[in-house]
């Protein structure tokens, strides 16, 4: 109740504070005074004026009451007009009942004023609302035109090509970027069909995308498409497509395209240079490995045998010199073992002769022997040989992953899982070490000094594969490289 009372007081305060309220009140008082001039006998000039004009039935004053009613309706709406009409009715009824010599006519006139006043108030209120609505509509239309103009400018000046086609493929609209991409001007484009811009392979891709969109499926991100320019050259574009609906029914397709021909060419060139650099690096490793094995190791073998023969002859040698020669022979053997291990690391012979599986088994055995980390190799699926370059990259990635396990993980067990199936080949290196917190992307690892993982990802890209890393503190790590078959 307190809230309603406060709300009512607040509403009354707003009404009273408006100048129109006092004008209506003054108007009612001004009309009421001559309405009761004979009874009040004041003011005298109004009595003489009414008599001279022949206004003896006071119908004019009753009609004048329409003015405050209509004015209240204009200012305060129908509710204000109705309240004002009640007030004017209260002002007129005493004369109708007690004073008027023509009570029936006076009552009819009073009722007519009450009814006509409210009807006029409702009409004016409706007109006012209509005018306000028309004004709002004009404002909305103006804003819509301004918004449409802004979007039209954005559409026409967008860096990416934008095309809208109907369900039959006819191009409905296009921007200047689309004209630059295709080589056709905008006027020509809007009279063409999108099939005129696509190669045979592009038409197949477009058909698949269309079917997915019509089935209600979403196209995640963008996809590659082949386009044919006006001069007949092919362009590789990155395309985003969406379905436009009206009242739930598909009516058009929206395409946003970007020419990535030069970008992809640069990427292909970069991959080519990286492959060449990698191939040259591996060839150099192979050469050094062979030199170490065929020359350095053989020289060390000869030196070790000479030292052994010298120590065994014993002619003219003291016991201390003989012991010293034995130590030198042992050091030579240790150096020889280290050189052999280095030669194997540079280019394991098993990889060239027996393939990836044998090389990984040798690598696991080597890691187990020198690091103490128990390392196993699991083969899933039907094993097959891969291209030499691919096997080499997979071996290097696995080698780097195990090197990270050895250096950083504090693990006791590691596992290499190689999975062969019809659609892909996958290698996973996992450990039970301490793990680490993963950044958002592998590229962010470079800032943390984990360049080995970045290098592994770059190697995976060279053979068209992907590298994923999973790790949590205290729960170990796993690195997976996956490439299509």
Question: What is the phi-psi region of residue 246: left when phi exceeds 0, alpha when psi lies from -120 to 50, beta otherwise?
Answer: beta
Is residue 159 helix, strand or coil? Answer: coil
pLDDT digits (tens, 9 = 90+) for 180-212: 888 898 889 888 998 888 888 888 888 888 888
Dist CA 276 CA 462 (whole Å): 10
Q: Is the pLDDT of residue 41 over 60?
A: no
Nearest in space to 113 (alpha carbons), one of 71, 69, 73: 69
Dist CA 429 CA 382 (whole Å): 19
* Residues whose CB is less than 8 angstroms from the CB of residue 465 and which lie 6 or more positions away in sequence, other chains included: 481, 482, 483, 484
Find the range with the poorest average confidence among 9-23, 95-109, 192-206.
9-23
287 sits in which H/E element? helix 261-291
- Whether the CB-CB separation of 124 and 74 falls below 8 Å is answered with yes
Dist CA 484 CA 339 (whole Å): 37
* DSSP secondary structure letter of residue 220: -
Q: Is the pLDDT of residue 52 over 50?
A: no
pLDDT digits (tens, 9 = 90+) for 358-401: 888 988 888 898 888 999 999 998 888 888 888 888 888 898 89
Dist CA 277 CA 280 (whole Å): 5
pLDDT digits (tens, 9 = 90+) for 224-255: 888 888 888 888 888 888 888 888 888 899 88
Q: Tokens 């709406």 identify what position?
A: 77
Nearest in space to 457 (alpha carbons), one of 479, 485, 428, 435: 479
Phi, psi angles (nearest 5°) of residue 441: -130, 160
């Amino acid at each position: 109740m307190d809230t309603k009372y406060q709300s009512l007081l607040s509403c009354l305060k707003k009404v009273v504070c408006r100048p129109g309220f006092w004008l209506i009140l003054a108007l009612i008082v001004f009309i009421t005074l001559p309405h009761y001039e004979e009874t009040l006998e004041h003011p005298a000039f109004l009595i003489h004026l009414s008599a001279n004009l022949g206004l003896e039935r006071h119908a004019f004053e009753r009609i004048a009451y329409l003015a405050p009613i209509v004015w209240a309706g204009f200012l305060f709406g129908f509710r204000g007009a109705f309240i004002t009409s009640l007030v004017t009715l209260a002002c007129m009824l005493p004369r109708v009942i007690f004073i008027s010599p023509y009570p029936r006519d006076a009552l009819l006139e009073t009722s007519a004023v009450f009814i006509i006043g409210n009807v006029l108030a409702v009409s004016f209120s409706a007109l006012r609302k209509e005018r306000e609505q028309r004004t709002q509509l004009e404002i909305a239309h103006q804003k819509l035109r301004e918004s449409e103009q802004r979007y039209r400018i954005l559409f026409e000046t967008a860096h990416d090509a934008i095309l809208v086609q109907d369900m039959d493929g006819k191009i409905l609209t296009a921007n200047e970027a689309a004209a630059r991409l295709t080589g056709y001007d905008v006027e020509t484009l809007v009279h063409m069909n999108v099939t005129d811009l696509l190669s045979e392979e592009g038409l197949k891709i477009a058909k698949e995308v269309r079917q997915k969109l019509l089935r209600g499926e979403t196209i995640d991100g963008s996809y590659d498409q082949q386009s044919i320019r006006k001069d007949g050259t092919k362009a590789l574009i990155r395309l985003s497509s969406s379905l436009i609906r009206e009242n739930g029914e598909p009516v058009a397709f929206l395409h946003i395209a970007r020419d990535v021909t030069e970008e992809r060419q640069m990427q292909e060139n970069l991959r080519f240079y990286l492959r060449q650099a990698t191939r040259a690096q591996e060839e150099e490793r192979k050469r050094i490995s062979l030199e170490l094995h065929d020359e350095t190791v053989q020289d060390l073998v000869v030196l070790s045998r000479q030292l052994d023969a010298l120590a065994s002859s014993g002619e003219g040698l003291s016991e201390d010199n003989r012991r010293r020669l034995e130590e030198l022979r042992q050091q030579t053997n240790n150096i020889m073992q280290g050189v052999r291990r280095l030669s194997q690391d540079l280019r394991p012979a098993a990889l060239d002769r027996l393939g990836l599986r044998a090389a990984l088994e040798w690598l696991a055995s080597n890691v187990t022997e020198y690091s103490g980390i128990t390392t196993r190799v699991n083969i899933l699926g039907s094993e097959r040989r891969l291209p030499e370059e691919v096997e080499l990259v997979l071996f290097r990635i696995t080698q780097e992953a195990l090197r990270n396990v050895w250096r950083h993980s504090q693990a006791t067990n590691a596992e290499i899982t190689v999975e062969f199936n019809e659609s892909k080949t996958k290698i996973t290196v996992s450990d039970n070490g301490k793990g680490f917190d993963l950044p958002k992307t592998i590229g962010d690892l470079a800032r943390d000094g984990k360049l080995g993982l970045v290098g592994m990802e770059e190697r995976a890209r060279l053979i068209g594969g992907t590298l994923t890393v999973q790790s949590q503190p205290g729960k170990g790590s796993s690195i997976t490289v996956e490439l299509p078959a």
